[in-house]
Amino acid sequence: MPQYMLALYDDPSGWKKLSPEEMQKSLEKYMAWGKRPYVVTGKRLAADLGRVLRSTNGKPRATDGPYSETKEVMGGIYLIEAKDYDEAVERTLDHPHLEHGTIELRQLYS
Amino acid sequence: MTAAELSNAPRGDADRDGDTGVLLEHLFRHQVGRVVAHLARVLGPARLDLAEESMQEAMLRALQTWPYQGIPENPGAWLLRVAHNSAIDSLRRSRFLDQNSGAVLAELTRATSIAPGAPSFEEQLRDDELRMIFMCCHPEIARDARVALSLKTVGGFSVREIASAFLADDAAIAQRLVRAKRQLRERRVTLDLPGAAELDQRLDSALETIYFIFNEGYAAHEGEDLIRRDLCFEALRLGRLLAASSIATPRVHALVAVIALQAARLPARIDEAGDSILLEDQDRARWDQHLIAEGFHHFDLSIAGEQVSEYHVQAAIAATYTQAANLRTIDWPAILDLYDQLLAISGASPVVALNRAVAVAKVHGPAEGLAEIETLRGDPQLRDYYLLLAVRGHLLQELGRPEEAAVCWSAALECRCSEPERRFLRRKLAGI
């Protein structure tokens, strides 16, 4: 079965507006989604923006994370199984993250 | 929701269902009260904001990591530890701004080394929460500010949730909280438990605040049902915390008895269609038996004292309703007698007088009841109160004056009332 990567983007400051009760409800929805049989794994990314490595004039260098126009940052990834993009989309459409941010869906070649 | 689910803040492994990884209902909300109370005691009440921010940070961290790593063994302790560390980090960053930060930091670091889950630590947390209740309910703070502060700081409600429960603007509630915190600072209110000399007055203020929160939730004029139900159970939780403490007096037990006995009827107040059901028509099988048992337990404990408070009489009224097997066996003369007592204690509270008028009608007939109602109609507090008009309409109908009854119910529909109450009035109007 092909695998798809979900990259979860959101604006971290948006979460601060939630009440404790809303946070718990949201957390429970994420956890329930993560338990679905077609979810292979999920990983949280560190809150900083990481580093970007590139060569300038043949010299490789690392700089602080990607500069972005938007406030949305990639916060986590999931791998899921699906037979094609249509099914992968269908399985992602009710992901609770869509109440807070966007999801980028990419097929992985195996 | 059962009594077990509503039991005091989670502790130990009880806050998690090991196999399914499901969190206890309201875990975050209740944990806010415990963690903020604990941090505020260590940091000092002047740093209440820092305590709140640290807990906020811990919950955000949970949100970011638990979906991927699973729920930790003891989620409550996890939140406490992360909030603790967050407070230490914040203090370190601002360490040179304030000379006593060093001492606080040492105390914070020492507190981390105490094993969460140990009985002594649990006791400490309960004690911290109790101190926080007394601070938030301090008589030096205005009542509306006291209520907002208690719900926010001890209850873990957000500004928006409090605003929706009280039909107020978010900004107005936020203002109230700012004012409350300023009053705490200006009057140098501490987190010390009240000493013997001021205990009565401080306890009165706390009980009044808790009862107000309950009544706001129970009266359900308008607004979201869910948040109002949450207010009722938050009041019950606070009452239980006081009742379980060493300073519990018979009056505290009386208050918990009223709240538990009335809350027991919440599931039966509304039918499947979401319509209001009168107490007399309620299906008693839907009353919460755990809460009734709890109510009577506290009612028994409340009798120990010499003094009869408003809460004692309210509890006796609720107990009388609850004890009746059905509508026909409600002991109305006993209830009327209790309302007479209540009126004598609580002065001339017009809402109590209205309830008394209903009892008068039951004991002496609708004409007598109506005569009582007529004396209350001019009261400014009751003038636009839908219940007075609804009751008056009901009595007029019983007296064979349907046109006048219809006028009353139509007028009641113009008043502030909940959607189920509105439908109830329309049904009455349609039935004429």
* CATH number of the domain that residue A56 is part of: 3.30.70.1060
Residue B360: closest CA among B386, B383, B338: B338
**Chain B closest CA to A63's CA: distance in Å?**
25
| Structure-model confidence comparison of residues B384 and B68, the more confident one | B68
**B interface test, pick of A27, A28, A43, A79 with most B CB neighbours within 10 Å:** A27
Rounded mean pLDDT, B353-380: 91
Pick from B22, B27, B157: which is nearest to A19 by CB? B157
Mapping DSSP onto H, E and C, the string for chain B reads CCCCCCCCCCCHHHHEECCCCEECCCHHHHHHHHHHHHHHHHHCHHHHHHHHHHHHHHHHHHHHHHHHHCCCCCHHHHHHHHHHHHHHHHHHHCHHHCCCHHHHHHHHHHHHCCCCCCHHHHHHHHHHHHHHHHHHCCCCCCHHHHHHHHHHHHCCCCHHHHHHHCCCCHHHHHHHHHHHHHHHHHCCCCCCCCCHHHHHHHHHHHHHHHHHHHHHHHHCCCCCHHHHHHHHHHHHHHHHHHHCCCCCCHHHHHHHHHHHHHHCCHHHCECCCCCECCHHHCCHHHCCHHHHHHHHHHHHHHCCCCCCCHHHHHHHHHHHHHHCCCHHHCCHHHHHHHHHHHHHHCCCCHHHHHHHHHHHHHHHCHHHHHHHHHHHCCCCCCCCCHHHHHHHHHHHHHCCCHHHHHHHHHHHHCCCCCHHHHHHHHHHHHHC
Q: Which residues sit opposite B402 in a β-bridge?
A: none
Chain A residues with CB inside 8 Å of B69's CB? Answer: 44
Q: Which residues sit opposite A7 in a β-bridge?
A: A77, A104
* Average pLDDT score, chain B: 85
Residue A88 has pLDDT above 50, yes or no: yes
CB atoms A24 and B26 under 8 Å: yes
Give the domain range for residue A22.
3-108
Query: Is the dihedral angle over the CA atoms B91, B92, B94, B96 positive or is it negative?
Result: positive
**Chain B closest CA to A46's CA: distance in Å?**
9
Amino acid occupying residue B209: T
Q: What is the pTM of this model?
A: 0.83
Rounded mean pLDDT, B192-209: 91
Asked whether A25 and B230 are in contact (CB, 8 A), the reply is no
The gap from C-alpha A47 to its chain's centroid, in whole angstroms, comes to 12
Residue A24: closest CA among B174, B49, B230, B75: B75
Give CA–CA dist B402/B394, Å, rounded. 9
Residue B142: closest CA among B169, B171, B177, B180: B180
Q: How confident is the model at residue A106 (pLDDT cuts 50, 70, 90)?
A: very high
Residue B17 has pLDDT above 50, yes or no: no
The region of weakest confidence among A32-41, B120-129, B393-402 is B120-129
Residue B5 has pLDDT above 90, yes or no: no
**A interface test, pick of B24, B63, B234 with most A CB neighbours within 10 Å:** B63
pLDDT confidence of residue B6: 38
Residue B34 has pLDDT above 90, yes or no: yes
Model confidence over B83-136: pLDDT tens digits? Answer: 999 999 998 887 656 667 777 777 777 765 666 667 788 888 899 999 999 999
pLDDT confidence of residue B378: 83
Give CA–CA dist B248/B251, Å, rounded. 8
Rounded mean pLDDT, B76-89: 93
pLDDT confidence of residue B9: 37
Residue B303: closest CA among B251, B355, B343, B351: B251
**Chain A closest CA to B153's CA: distance in Å?**
11
**CB-facing half-sphere around the CA of B367: CA atoms within 13 A:** 1
Pick from A15, A19, A76: which is nearest to B68 by CB? A76
Work out how many domains chain A is built from and give that number.
1
Pick from B29, B62, B156: which is nearest to A27 by CB? B62
pLDDT confidence of residue B224: 57
Q: Interface pTM (ipTM) of the complex?
A: 0.87
Q: Enter the tokens of residue B307.
A: 């003094």
pLDDT confidence of residue B165: 79
pLDDT confidence of residue B422: 82
Length of chain B, in residues:
432
Q: Enter the tokens of residue B53.
A: 């921010």
* DSSP 8-class letter at A33: H
Mapping DSSP onto H, E and C, the string for A80-110 reads EECCCHHHHHHHHCCCHHHHCEEEEEEEECC
pLDDT confidence of residue B246: 87
Asked whether B356 and B314 are in contact (CB, 8 A), the reply is no
CB atoms A24 and B21 under 8 Å: no
Q: How confident is the model at residue B221 (pLDDT cuts 50, 70, 90)?
A: low
* Cα distances (angstroms) measured from residue A15 to each of A97, B176, B279: 11, 24, 42
Model confidence over B242-299: pLDDT tens digits? Answer: 999 988 999 999 999 999 999 998 887 776 666 666 666 777 788 899 999 999 999 9
Nearest CA in chain A to B22: A28
Give CA–CA dist B265/B286, Å, rounded. 8
A·B CB contacts under 8 A: 69
Residue B4 has pLDDT above 50, yes or no: no
- Inter-residue long-range contacts of B342-348, CB under 8 Å, 24+ positions, other chains counted: B342/B310, B342/B313, B342/B314, B342/B317, B345/B308, B345/B309, B345/B310, B345/B313, B346/B310
Rounded mean pLDDT, A97-103: 93
The gap from C-alpha B90 to its chain's centroid, in whole angstroms, comes to 33
Rounded mean pLDDT, A45-57: 86
Q: Enter the tokens of residue B195.
A: 């000493």
Angle between helices B196-219 and B250-263 (to 10 degrees): 10
Q: Which residues sit opposite A41 in a β-bridge?
A: A79
Rounded mean pLDDT, A15-41: 92
Asked whether B50 and B78 are in contact (CB, 8 A), the reply is no
CB atoms B71 and A34 under 8 Å: no
The region of weakest confidence among A100-109, B151-160, B260-269 is B260-269
In a 3-state reduction of DSSP, which class is residue A71? Answer: coil
The region of weakest confidence among B302-316, B368-382, B417-431 is B417-431
pLDDT confidence of residue B308: 87
Asked whether A78 and A41 are in contact (CB, 8 A), the reply is yes
Q: How confident is the model at residue B220 (pLDDT cuts 50, 70, 90)?
A: low
Residue B369: count of CB within 10 angstroms of its CB: 24
Nearest CA in chain B to A47: B64
Pick from B28, B67, B230: which is nearest to A24 by CB? B28
Chain B residues with CB inside 8 Å of A76's CB? Answer: 64, 67-68
Rounded mean pLDDT, A39-57: 88
Chain A residues with CB inside 8 Å of B23's CB? Answer: 24, 27-28
Chain B residues with CB inside 8 Å of A34's CB? Answer: 67-68
